[in-house]
Structure 1
Amino acid sequence: MSKLTPGKLAGLKAVSDHQGVIAAAAMDQRGSLQKSLAKERGAAADAHDLEEFKSLVTEVLTRHASAILLDPEYGLPASKHRNGKGLLLAYEKTGYDATTPGRLPDLLDVWSVRRLKEAGADCIKILLYYTPFEKTSVNDLKHAWIERIGDECLTHDIPFFLEFVGYDADGGDEKSVAYAKKKPEIVSGSMAEFGKARYNVDVLKVEVPVEMTHVEGTRSFKGEKAYTRAQALQHFRDAEAMTHKPFIYLSAGVSNPVFIETLELAGESGTKFNGVLCGRATWKDGIPIYAQKGAAAFKQWLETTGVENINNVNNALKAASPWYLKFGANSLAELG
């Protein structure tokens, strides 16, 4: 395994719990959060709403998380309320360019890795829409883009967390059973690609390789089968076999009970995942509370239901393994 540089090691330690597991909360949603707040309120949501929402989530949930992921556009005020926990900052623009095919990404205009680090980031996070089944010309652009960011993080000696979210290259419905059957290969293929040394990614933030609503024999199952439970467990193991890099699971907007069952399944498969970066599965149901009843009511909801949600996640993280094992160490202390 490659040796961790001092800055990369410090950054990874900053966002992990004392056991070397990444139990991080995610609050870097921008466009989607703004739309959801406006929809629930029946009126526009502005920058102040986003800043206040993020600050409340951060203040309450970081008491129960090892770190928080925020965006530098609306999340910097929130970063002052993180109870001494680690900070990941997003470097990409929200969403993707819908005018060109291939869901091409873009970086925030007035930010660089240097500036994010100066703003207090312990780690840099990038979201990329990716599928191995996309046209080579499109994926070539994405590969070069990630290489540049990896080199920038290397220069500034800060960990690079890459989150990739799959999609159907043929424009099919990602909620369909047909897509659910393709998903294991999309996740595995993406892990194999971005685990390559040339990208200098330190932690892969990955989707689970199955669609829980299509796994027969789970509580989340909705009746249309893409895989048996045994096949689903094997998909977890197959995805893990694609890389030696530390990887953590994202919650992909599912409900808290579905995400908990997902982590249980990962644990049952014996997969050595290294934690989570979990956003909407903890705070999503509080959006109508904030939009309709305001900040005080939302804070109360966070301190009860929100805390309960994150504690459910933390409990499910008993199945996770410390990331330092991926570097051949038996403890954090061994790494320096």
Structure 2
Amino acid sequence: MLNISKGKYEGLKKLSDENGIIGALAIDQRGSLQKMIASYNEGNHAPSSLEHFKVLVSKELTPYASSILLDPEFGWTAAENRDQNAGLLVAYEKTGYDASIEGRLPDLLPNWSVKRLKEKGADAVKLLLYYDVDESQETNDQKQAFVERIGSECVAEDLPYFLEIVSYDAKNNDVKGIEYAKVKPHKVNDAVHEFCKPRYAIDVLKVEVPVNMNYVEGFTTGEVVYTKDEAKHYFKEQADASILPFIFLSAGVSAELFQKTLVFAKEAGSTFNGVLCGRATWKNGVEPFAKFGKEKAADWLKNVGRENITNLNRVLKETASPWWSQYGTKESVFVK
């Protein structure tokens, strides 16, 4: 049976609501957010614009989130401006990956450690890992050892460890296409199975849904890759593969589709424990920010952004399971 240390238990409580559901807001984007801002103002942007936008999102939306995911490069001011009841999850990795090197190998921010992130106020740390279960053993051995190192740091500091797994195919860069959709359940669910092993010391998996919903029967007017029953099978397979608490990432889909996906997952028997939702909540607020400034962006966040996150919270209340259910019940969690 799973058990959990006192520090990690307390950290997860700070990141979830009173019902044990993780309704976290993600805005640790850096390079991609810079590109989004630049696309709306003819390529003109300053690094400070990232910090300013993150502050707005944190200030306006964390009153409705159980926690927020930020980065150490542009996110500390946003962390200081979050609602006092929102926990703080901090990204440990450099943004993106080095495309000149095969394998999409991860790298860490050089002047941070788990100890330093904890001292700065992090309630947990997150690592993003690009992972292809079918890539060479040499490449995946490097990634597995990398994940283990951070797990050891988190055990030493008694801080929760979130691993975000983004699947891909080393032989096919079109992850939105039909060919990748056919292999996505295998790529996602086999990675879940791997990183549930105790050697990694991971506490929560942040994962993609196991299918591309744009190819699911009833969710598309185009070509169908999965019937509804097949898609539900993959959601249930994912839940069965994870002995750890796991939460879904939104992967940039619309707020409406993400919410429908969570309902579908519940119907399929998925026992997911919440979400770390980013762009689905705030991405359409980037345009008014880039074109018209903070005031217009704040208005958008107070209205549409708030509606997005409150609607998501309603869906989570009906669909997600408490993270401690992976340990039995809240009262039976064994704190070592």
The two structures share one fold, judged by TM-score above 0.5: yes
- SS at 1:161 equivalent: strand
Q: CA deviation at 1:334?
A: 8.0
Establish whether residue 283 from structure 1 lines up as the match of residue 282 from structure 2. Answer: yes
Which residue in 2 is equivalent to 1:255? 254
TM-score, reference length from structure 1 = 0.97
Change (3 A) 1:239 1:173: same
Give the drift of 1:313. 1.1
Supply the distance in 1 between the matched residues of 2:302 and 2:296 (Cα, whole angstroms).
Answer: 10
Q: CA deviation at 1:222?
A: 4.2
Q: Which residue of structure 1 lines up, in the alignment, with residue 245 of structure 2?
A: 246
SS at match of 2:241: coil
The residue that corresponds to 2:235 in the other structure is 236
Is 1:306 the counterpart of 2:305? The answer is yes
Contact 1:20–1:332 (CA under 8 A) maintained in structure 2: no
Kindly indicate whether the alpha-carbon contact (under 8 Å) linking 1:27 and 1:54 is maintained by their aligned counterparts in 2: yes
Q: Distance in 2 between matches of 1:246 and 1:333?
A: 13
CA distance in 2, matches of 1:177, 1:214: 8
2:239/2:270 contact within 8 Å kept: yes
Could you say what secondary structure the match of 2:105 adopts? Answer: coil
How much does 1:241 deviate? 1.1
Distance 1:44 1:285 in 2: 18
Specify the alignment match of 1:116 in structure 2.
Answer: 117
Letter of the 2:6 partner, please give it.
P
Q: Deviations over 1:162-188 (max 9, x none)?
A: 001011121341111110010001111
Q: What is the identity, as a one-letter code, of the residue corresponding to 2:287? A: P
- What residue in structure 1 maps to residue 55 of structure 2? 55
Conservation of the 8 A alpha-carbon contact between 2:2 and 2:326? no
Other-structure match for 1:34:
34
Aligned residues: 334
Shift of 1:82: 1.0
Report if aligned partners of 2:172, 2:180 keep a CA contact under 8 Å in 1: no
Counterpart of 1:178 in structure 2 is: 179
1:314 deviation in Å?
0.7
Provide the secondary structure at the position in 1 that maps to 2:111.
Answer: coil
In 2, Cα distance between the equivalents of 1:331 and 1:277?
A: 25
Kindly state the Cα deviation for residue 308 of structure 1 after the two structures are TM-superposed.
0.5
Question: Kindly tell me: are residues 10 and 256 of structure 1, through their superposed partners in 2, closer, same or farther at Cα, counting changes over 3 Å?
Answer: same
Deviation of 1:131 after TM superposition, in Å, equals 1.5
Match of 2:217 in 1: 216
1:303 match: secondary structure: helix
Q: Is the Cα–Cα contact under 8 Å of residues 27 and 69 in structure 1 kept in the other structure?
A: yes
Note the alpha carbon deviations across 1:78-131, whole angstroms, 9 max, x for none.
Answer: 001111110000000000111111111100011000111111100000000002
2:208 corresponds in structure 1 to 207
Determine the structure 2 residue equivalent to 1:271. 270
User: In the alignment, which residue of structure 1 is the partner of 2:296?
Assistant: 297
Q: In the alignment, which residue of structure 1 is the partner of 2:105?
A: 104
Q: Is the 8 A contact 1:329 1:335 kept in 2?
A: no
Residue 319 (structure 2) aligns with: 319
Instruction: Give runs of aligned pairs for residues 9-20 of structure 1, distance below 5 A.
Output: 9-20=9-20
Q: How does 1:189-200 map to 2 (within 5 A)?
A: 189-200=190-201
- Determine the C-alpha separation between the residues in 2 that align with 1:62 and 1:129: 28
2:45 match: secondary structure: coil
State the identity as a percent: 51
- TM-aligned CA deviation for residue 43 of structure 1: 2.9
Give the aligned residue type for 2:79.
S
Counterpart of 1:182, as a letter, is V
Per-residue deviation at 1:3?
A: 2.0
Structure 2, unaligned stretches of length 5 or more? Answer: none
Query: How far does residue 332 in structure 1 lie from its aligned partner after superposition?
Result: 8.4
Q: TM-score, normalised by structure 2?
A: 0.97
**CA displacement at 1:325 relative to structure 2:** 1.1
Higher mean C-alpha deviation, range 42-51 or range 161-170? 42-51
Q: Quick one: which amino acid aligns to residue 239 of structure 1?
A: Q
Question: Which residue number in structure 1 is paired with residue 65 of structure 2?
Answer: 65
User: Equivalents in 2 of 1:12, 1:231: separation in Å?
Assistant: 33
Equivalent position of 2:133 in the other structure: 132
**Closer, same or farther: CA 66–273 of 1 in aligned 2, 3 Å:** same
The one-letter amino acid paired with 1:22 is: I
Letter in 1 for 2:246: F
Work out whether residues 3 and 333 of structure 2, in 8 Å CA contact, stay in contact via their aligned partners in 1. no
| Structure 1 residues 320-335: aligned runs within 5 Å | 320-331=320-331
Moved more, 312-321 or 40-49: 40-49
What is the correspondence of 1:133-152 to structure 2 with a 5 Å cutoff? 133-152=134-153
Give the superposition deviation at 1:199.
Answer: 0.2
CA pair 24-332 structure 1, distance change in 2 beyond 3 A: farther
Task: Name the CA distance, whole Å, in 1 between partners of 2:329 and 2:254.
Answer: 35
Matches within 5 A, 1:149-168: 149-168=150-169
SS across alignment from 2:82: coil
Q: Measure the CA separation in 2 of the matches of 1:296 and 1:288.
A: 12
1:6 alignment partner in structure 2: 6
CA 1:157–1:171: 2 relative to 1, 3 Å: same
Instruction: Describe the SS at the equivalent of 1:241.
Output: helix
**Shift, 1:333, TM fit:** 8.5
Within 2, Cα distance between the matches of 1:43 and 1:177? 32
Mapped contact 2:62–2:82 kept (Cα < 8 A): yes
Which amino acid in structure 2 is aligned with residue 138 of structure 1?
A: T
Partners of 1:208 and 1:66 in 2: CA distance: 21
How far apart in 1 are the matches of 2:124 and 2:102? 30
